[in-house]
Amino acid sequence: MVREMEFRRILGLPPYVFTIIDGLKYEARRNGRDVIDLGFGNPDIPSPDTAVEKLSEAAHNPRNHRYSASRGIPKLRQAVAALYLRRFGVELDPDTEVINTIGAKEGFSHLMWVLLQPGDAALVPSPSYPIHLWGPYFAGADARQVAIGDEVGHAAGAAYVDRVVEAWEYGWPKPRVVVLSFPHNPTTATIELPELQRLVDWALERDVILVHDFAYAETAFDGWKPPSILQCRGGKEVAVELYSMTKSFSMAGWRMAFLVGRSDVVEALAKLKSYLDYGTFQPIQIAATVTLNEELDYPRHVSAIYESRRNALWDGLDRIGWQFPRPLATMFAWAPIPEAYRHLGSIEFAKLLVRECDVAVSPGVGFGPGGDGHVRFALIENEQRIGQAVRNLRKGLSRLSGSD
Ligand SMILES: Cc1ncc(COP(=O)(O)O)c(C=O)c1O
């Protein structure tokens, strides 16, 4: 008989709420219903042909079947440095200021191991992409949540900076790490460069590392371009940034991201990772290198698709009276639960949308208690399907309110 044991590191983890909605979605589909899935942020846009072709070519070369370099092959790191120079005007030393990670999620998790230990604290956004909250916790540290409030767009980023400074100045022990991530998942909050500069200026006078998860670096609309924290004066002295190919190049499954910036932090992560992994499969690194060097327009192409979908969803919801600020970036819409259903909370409301409207969304509470008043739509279906989702929502919700 198996003796019962406690697995303490994961004991505090709540059940992944998205699985509840997934369960309902699969059940509805088994019953023949056409559920439109706007839940999980799993990109549906194909990766660039260049990446696929280079991967297949490189995979045929047995030299690429061996262990690769944990920090990433030199040409890949050079390609990232070239991208930062081209896109942000930021110079990076590919040898000391760039390291390849197995997606931003792996990079972030192990970075927290490097920066934090029991007794330490990090400031993290609330609501947050789950690993921002749980990464510090896995490292045995305390994660103190700082609200991304109801301010709209860039004002939300500015308000987050104010709240971070306040939480740090009044908190004890002093947090060693501040996590930020703009454009922000799930709230779609954004930030402008002067506000990032204000945070960097503040951090330069403190013992604190700024960790910027820049997953939506290229996914922005209406001509706006998100700033990198490394564009700030002194940025490389206090900050590291995670740049991922998942959304920008629609290469989610490839697990290709980079930690860039402050060199002692990059080196520390490289040291830890040299114990943990042998890097990404080399053909993937080669394919990513060629993609970064040759597919300069792909991020714009991907972003334009999300922008059309943003328009279809937001305009549609606006027309049916479900109103909230128009997202300027990311691949999401963060919608407050309509007044009449707010008492249900986000899980019950999301269940209701599957049952009554054949539309799956993510309940906001899945991003922490700060998200419970909202649901998140992910723009992972095409415009026609999004249009259908809006019609389903109009019909389902007006049936429930008795006005149909
Ligand atoms: C804020 C944020 N960080 C990281 C990730 C995951 O990125 P990657 O696929 O590079 O691990 C996501 C994906 O949804 C995200 O929203």
- In the Cβ-directed half-sphere of 210, how many Cα atoms lie within 13 Å? 31
pLDDT at 70: 87
Residue 330 Rama label (left phi>0; alpha psi -120 to 50; beta): left
Q: Which of 44, 45, 105 to mutate to test the pocket of ligand 1 (most atoms within 8 A of CB)?
A: 105
Q: What's the rounded mean pLDDT across residues 190-212?
A: 98
CA atoms 97, 98, 104, 107: torsion sign: negative
Ligand 1 midpoint to CA 321 (Å): 31
- 205: its two tokens: 């006078």
Ligand 1 midpoint to CA 245 (Å): 9
Q: Which residues line ligand 1 (CB under 6 A)?
A: 41, 103-105, 129, 181, 185, 213, 215, 244, 246, 252, 257
pLDDT at 401: 83
pLDDT at 403: 63
> Regarding predicted confidence, which is higher, 251 or 150?
251
Work out which ligand 1 atom sits closest to the CA atom of 129. Answer: 1
CATH node for 66-294:
3.40.640.10
Query: What confidence tens digit (pLDDT) does each residue in 10-26 have?
Result: 887 877 777 878 888 88
* Residue that is written with structure tokens 């192409």 in the block: 301
Q: What's the rounded mean pLDDT across residues 369-390?
A: 95
Scanning 31-175, the segments in alpha helix (DSSP H) are 49-59, 74-88, 103-115, 130-138, 154-170
Distances (CA, A) of 180 to 32, 108, 190, 379: 42, 12, 11, 23
Of the pLDDT bands very low, low, confident and very high (cuts 50, 70, 90), residue 294 is very high
For the chain, give every domain's residue range.
Answer: 8-46+298-400, 66-294
Percent of the chain residues topping a pLDDT of 90: 89
Q: Which of 99, 214, 246, 376 to mutate to test the pocket of ligand 1 (most atoms within 8 A of CB)?
A: 246
pLDDT at 404: 54
Question: What is the CA 277 to chain-centroid distance, rounded?
Answer: 23
Instruction: Classify domain 8-46+298-400 at the CATH topology level.
Output: Aspartate Aminotransferase, domain 1 (3.90.1150)
Q: What's the rounded mean pLDDT across residues 34-46?
A: 92
Q: What's the rounded mean pLDDT across residues 185-194?
A: 97
Ligand 1 midpoint to CA 244 (Å): 7
Compute the distance between CA of residue 380 and CA of residue 385 in angstroms, rounded to an integer.
Answer: 10
Query: What confidence tens digit (pLDDT) does each residue in 208-259 have?
Result: 999 999 999 999 999 999 999 999 999 999 999 999 999 999 999 999 999 9
Strand pairing class (362-363; 359-360): unpaired
Q: Which of 99, 185, 280 to mutate to test the pocket of ligand 1 (most atoms within 8 A of CB)?
A: 185
Compute the distance between CA of residue 383 and CA of residue 366 in angstroms, rounded to an integer.
Answer: 26
pLDDT at 241: 98
Give the closest residue (by CA) to ligand 1 atom 14: 41
Is the fold of 8-46+298-400 the same as that of 66-294?
no
Give the closest residue (by CA) to ligand 1 atom 3: 215
